[in-house]
Each structure stands twice: as C-alpha cells, then as structure tokens.
Structure 1
Amino acid sequence: MRVIGLMSGTSYDAIDAAAAELDLVGDSLVLKPLGMVSETYDGELRESLAAALPPGTTTLGEVCRLDTLIGQAFAAAAVRADRELCAGRAELVASHGQTVYHWVAGKQVHGTLQLGQPAWIAEATGLPVVADFRPRDVAAGGQGAPLVSLVDLLWLRGRPGRPVALNLGGIANLTAPDGTAFDTGPGCALIDAAARGFSGGALAYDVDGALAARGQVHGPLLDRLLEEPYYALSAPKTTGKELFHLGHLRDALTGFGTLPAEDVVATLTMLTARTVADAVRSVGATEVIGSGGGTRNPVLLGMLGDLLPGMAVRTSDELGLLSDAKEAYAFAVLGFLTVHGLPGTEPASTGARHPSVLGSVTPGRDGWRLPPPAGRRPRRLLVG
C-alpha cells in the first residue's frame, strides 16, 4: 500500500509529506521510502498560529479559521507528494495535523488538540485520510505521546545493545528498547523562542547553532532552568509549548540583568543537551539514534556528545530513514496499521491501559473499503 504521511511538529515551521510503500511480510512490516517533500506555512498563517498558541489567547472563530487553513495547507502538501513521489498512485493519507494544545496536569493528560481538518485533504486528493491519532490513546489513560515510539520499537528491535531513538523537535522525546518513552523537555522550543525574540523575528531558529557557538553557557541561569519540576517526574510523561515558551524563559531570566543573546542561546542549548543526556543515561542506553530538526544543530549535537562520552550519537539517516522525514514516515506506518485494524500504541510507552487502534477515517472520493484485518501486529519494521 502506498501511504503518504503528513507531519508538522511543535516548531510549526513546515509540513513534511513522506511517501512510503508498506507491505506486511510474515511478522515484519517492510517500508520502502519513496521520498519526502516539505511545504512551509505561508507567513500570515504561521503568524496566526503562533499568536493562538499558549501563552497567547484565541477565539473559537480563530480556531475554526486555523483548522480550515491548516487543513488546506496539509492538503496541498499531500497533493504534491502524490504527484511527485507516487506518480498519482497513492492509496492512503495519514495526517498528524498541527498540535495546538496538549492538556496536561502533573502527569495526567486530559486531552489533546490537533488542527488541520482532514476533509480538505480527502477532497483535494480523493484519498481516504486517517487523522486525529492522539485522542484515542488519551481516552485509554495514556499520554497520547510520543506516538512514534511503537515505530521506533519495531524499527530498532534486534539492534545490538540498548539503542534509544531520540527525536529533537520543538519538544525532545526518546524511546528505549523496553518500551519506556517520554518527552525529555524542550528540544528546540526555547532555543527557537530566544532566537526569534532576540532577532525581533528575523530568525526562526538558531541557524547551524551560530548564536550558541559565539556564546558562553551561563551557569547560574542553567541551574535555575534545571529547577523546572517537569524534569524530576518519572516516565511516562509528556509536555509541550504550554510550558516551554518565551514566558518560561523570561521568568528564568529575572534578576540576571541583561545577558548577551549569544550566552542565553548557548545556555538554552546546553539545557536541551543536559536534559536529553540525563534521560539517555536513566534508561541505560548504549547508543543514541537521533532525528528531527535539532540534529541539524552541530553545537547541540556536540554538547550532547560531550555529555555522553564513549556513546555513539548518530542520526537516523545512517539507518536508512532521513532524519527530517522520520516522523512523517512514522505516521504513514500508524495510518497503515489503523486501516488494517492493528493497534498503533505501546502501553509501556504512553502509559495507556491497553493498546489502541488509532485515529478516525475520512472516506475518499470513491468511499472507503477497509483491507482485510491483518491479524497480529508486526514484530519488526524493515526499511529498504
């Protein structure tokens, strides 16, 4: 089955559309990558989205407008992926949508909201769409994240030692071989917020870690940031920009006077590296396989390597999955599992009471016939 996976992460910088040929062969799911295209949000939509996210306020009218415009943007990415990667022969779209709120109180997730109305995708492509993946796991008592954990577990099964999959997006998360998975804290969220704030919006992120490379880590500020109670919570746990936003940084800076922008960004980069390294050590990892936008920051990866001496820190590209496309491929897999009646969660990862078949299906132009149930979930994911 040719499946297009659509993903926009907590950095909301672009919509990634990855196409894959997926087949069940015995106890394995075989994924043949067909490529990825990426569509940036137009400036006005990105600004509207940023303004509506916590700690900002919004209205139901603006939520409706964003749901429509994001759905149309996702639809355009899917159409392009079908045309350029699948020669117009895609059979299914799996859309993560854009997370705008993750309702967390302590360790309990009460709800989660992703925008990007799938009807626009189905109308534009003519294909059935699986969307709204996270709420089913939340309803089953889970965190609703990190949902890519099941894919990571299947993909890394059988690899020597204790490899962990690390996603360095706006929020960083990892998955260990025993199924333990959690958000470690801010991946690039605070770094991006600082880069935008100090540049007056000219920079969306710290390009190539250039700001951090020119700065010095400010020890007292780092210590204050590390006092955030989230880091001490046990897994499973999830977080988001509801916590790690520009206001969080401004509160931490209180009393330090005016620090150089480069020093603040260097300190935030070390914060991400430190909290990730602490999490990696806590699960007894022997190898880190990273993906996400943060892997393009050489200063962040260098700090992480220094904090994990003797441990291999590599990217998913080395194992056949492009780092930038890995999450989009993961949701293609989850969509495939859904339409075959197979669970897409691992309770050990999300804390749910049981595995769940995820998402809701929007029929395509010609309706929808489900494939025959596939029986048992595959034990491994083979990429090639």
Structure 2
Amino acid sequence: MRILGMISGTSHDGVDVALVDFDPAYGGGTLSGVVELTASTSYPPGLRGRLVNALPPAATTLGEVCELDTLVGQSFAGAAAGAIERAGPVDLIVSHGQTVFHWVDGARALGTLQIGRPAWIAERTGAPVLSDVRIRDITAGGQGAPLVSLLDVLLLAGHRGIAAALNLGGIANLTVVRGPADVVAYDIGPANALIDAVVVSRGLNGLGFDEDGRIAASGVADERLLAVLLDDPYYRLPAPKSTGKEVFHLGYVEAAIAAAGTRPGTADLMATLTELTVRAVAREVAASGAGLLVASGGGCRNPVLMAGLRRALPGVTFRLSDEYGAPADGKEAIAFALIGWHTVHGLPGTVPMGTGARAARILGALTPGSGPLALPPPVAQAPRALVLTLRPA
C-alpha cells in the first residue's frame, strides 16, 4: 500500500513529504516498507510571513485563520501533486497540516489546531486524505504528541538495552524505549524554535535559520541568560508533556533577557539559545540511561548543536535515523504515513505510554478522493517492529 505522509512542523517553513510503499502481504509481526521518496516544498515567503505573524502571542482574526487554512491547504495540495508526479499514484495521503496552536494547561493538553484543509489535497490529487490526527489522542486524555513515538518504538524494537529517539525540529521531543512495554515520550522544550525566531526577527538569514550554526559558532553563551532560560517551570513537569511555539516564541526570549538583566550581542544570543537546547536535551537523555540516541529533524544538520550534544553525552552512541531507513529530514512525514497505514487497517496509531492517553486510539478523519472510499481489510495483529529500506536512486 503506497501512502504519502505530509507535515509542516513547528518551523513553519514548508511541507515535508514521504512516500512509503508498505508490504501488502503483512500478516503480523514485522511490517516492512520501502521509502520511495522524501522531499520538502517551501512555503511562499508571503505565506510563511503571514503564518508567523498570526501565531501567539500575536493577535489574529477568524478571517485570517480562514484564509491561512485555505492557503496552507493549497500548498499541501501542490506538494502532494508534485510528489505523485515524481513517484506515481498513491492509495492514501496523510496530511498532518500546520499546527497553529496546541492548548496545554499545566500538564494537561486540552486541544490542538492544525490548519490546511484536506479537501484541497483530495480535489487536486483524487486520492483519499487522512487528516486531523492529533485530537483523538487528546480526547482520550493524552498529549496528542509526540505521535512520532509510534515509529520510534517500531524502528528501535530490535535494540538491546535502552535506546532513545530524538527529533530536533522547532521543538525537541524524545522517545525512550526500554522494551515493548516500557516506553516514555514527551516534548523536551525548544530545539530550533527560539533560534529561528531570533534569526527571522533580526533578518540574519533569508532561509530563516542559523545555517550550519555559523552565527552561534561565532559567539559565546551568556551563562546568566542561560540560567534564566533553564529555570522555566516546563522543564520540571513530569512526562508525558507537550508544548509548542505558543510558549516558546520571540517574546519569550525578550522576557528572559529582561529577567536576566543582560544584553548579549546577536552572536552571543544565538550561542546561548543553541546551548539551551544542548543542555536541556542532554539532561533528559542522561537521565533516561539511554546508550543509543537516534537523531532526526533539521537540528541534526546543525554541527554546533550536534557537537555540543556529543560533548555533553560522551558515553552515548549517536546515530542518524537515516541508518534505520528514515531520512532525518523526512522522518516525521514517514511517521504520519505509518499512522495512516494503521488507521486504514483498523489499528490504533498511538503509544499511550508515550502520550499519556488512557488507551490507544485509531486516529484521524477521512476525506474521500475522486472515487468511492475503499479500505483494506482490518489487520488482527499490530506490528511489533518496522523495517524501512530506501529505494535505490
């Protein structure tokens, strides 16, 4: 079954896609899939700017939300059509959409909002679309995140000992696997969110991020400011927990600078925010006891960030998710393709030990394509492991 997974993450920079051809002969045990395509399509500059300007703590209107919902949906539709043109037709598209708000009160998630109407994708491609995949976990008492833990648990199933999967997107999330019945997953805090916010606000790079960590590498971390940032109550909340840019945004950085009573230059500020991610992540990985850390997300392409993690975790073996068949930049899109496979086969797509839900739930809402909606027969046994391979170039 060929499934196209799609997501725009907390960096709000574009649409990541992954086409996975899952083994149609699966009967139980290990599921296999061939990753036939991963790609990224940038948002038009005007759209990204409107998204950033509409996010908390900024005020917005329902009219702006409606327009963005359409424009994001059309961008996703274009990305899906491009992928299908390159790699051939698909049986299902799974669209995570663009998160614009994740409503958390203390340790409880109460709601989540992803925009990007799936009907635009279905109309453009003719394929059925699964969307709105987070909310069902929240209704069952979960955080609705990190849903990528489903993929992490299956990819790390064969590892002996404690292993952890780290995703460094706008937000850093961690899945710790001690065994099939001992899993914890949660959002650690900001990975690139604060770094990107400063880059964009100060016009430091037209790409919207600190390319190769060059700006951070030219500065020195401000320890006074770092102490204020690391003292955020969020870090002391027990797992499972989730967060997003409604908390970690430019105003958050400005408030921390004011509280610290310091005025770092741009390079020192970037070094401080990069070191914040290093220390917050390293603290959690060390506490988990993991001997293996499998990294993914845009942050793992930042050599300053990754060198800092390696220095802080000398006894941990580092790997990129590429070595497990999931390219680091496309891993989340692959995860949503996997969730789609579970949903259409009648299987839950969550790991309740990771999200904190009462029980696992089948995820998403289906929008039919151009023809009748035909689902495959339900599968009796959920996969216990996943083997991904990359299609040869």
The question of a shared fold, defined as TM-score above 0.5 by the shorter chain, is answered with yes
Q: 2:82: which partner in 1? A: 80
Percent pairwise identity:
52
Q: CA deviation at 1:318?
A: 2.1
Of the structure 1 ranges 20-29 and 52-61, higher mean CA displacement relative to structure 2 is found in: 20-29
Q: 1:31: which partner in 2? A: 33
Identify if the C-alpha distance between structure 1 residues 57 and 8 changes in structure 2 by more than 3 Å, giving closer, same or farther.
same
Q: Which runs of 5+ in 2 are unaligned?
A: none
Q: Which runs of 5+ in 1 are unaligned?
A: none
Q: 2:189: which partner in 1? A: 185
Of the structure 1 ranges 24-33 and 149-158, higher mean CA displacement relative to structure 2 is found in: 24-33
CA distance, structure 1, for counterparts of residue 204 and residue 312 of structure 2 = 32
Q: 2:51: which partner in 1? A: 49
Q: 1:346: which partner in 2? A: 351
Could you say what secondary structure the match of 1:133 adopts? coil
CA distance, structure 2, for counterparts of residue 319 and residue 137 of structure 1 = 27
Q: CA deviation at 1:92?
A: 0.6
1:138 aligns with 2:138: yes
1:372 aligns with 2:374: no
1:196 aligns with 2:200: yes
Q: CA deviation at 1:203?
A: 5.1
Q: 1:106: which partner in 2? A: 106
Could you say what secondary structure the match of 1:324 adopts? coil
TM-score by length of 2: 0.95
Q: CA deviation at 1:256?
A: 3.2
CA distance, structure 2, for counterparts of residue 212 and residue 200 of structure 1 = 12
Q: 1:297: which partner in 2? A: 302
Counterparts in 2 of 1:202-351, with a 5 A limit? 202=206, 204-254=208-258, 256-351=261-356
Q: Deviations over 1:182-215 (max 9, x none)?
A: 0000010011112222336745111100011000
CA distance, structure 1, for counterparts of residue 11 and residue 351 of structure 2 = 25
CA distance, structure 2, for counterparts of residue 77 and residue 381 of structure 1 = 26
Counterparts in 2 of 1:158-169, with a 5 A limit? 158-169=158-169
Q: 1:360: which partner in 2? A: 365
Could you say what secondary structure the match of 1:120 adopts? helix
Equivalent AA in structure 2 for residue 321 of structure 1: A
Q: Deviations over 1:243-301 (max 9, x none)?
A: 10000100111153431111111011010011101111222111110000001100000
Q: Aligned residues, how many?
A: 382
CA distance, structure 2, for counterparts of residue 204 and residue 233 of structure 1 = 30
Q: CA deviation at 1:216?
A: 0.5
Is the CA contact (8 Å cut-off) linking 2:27 and 2:379 kept in structure 1?
no
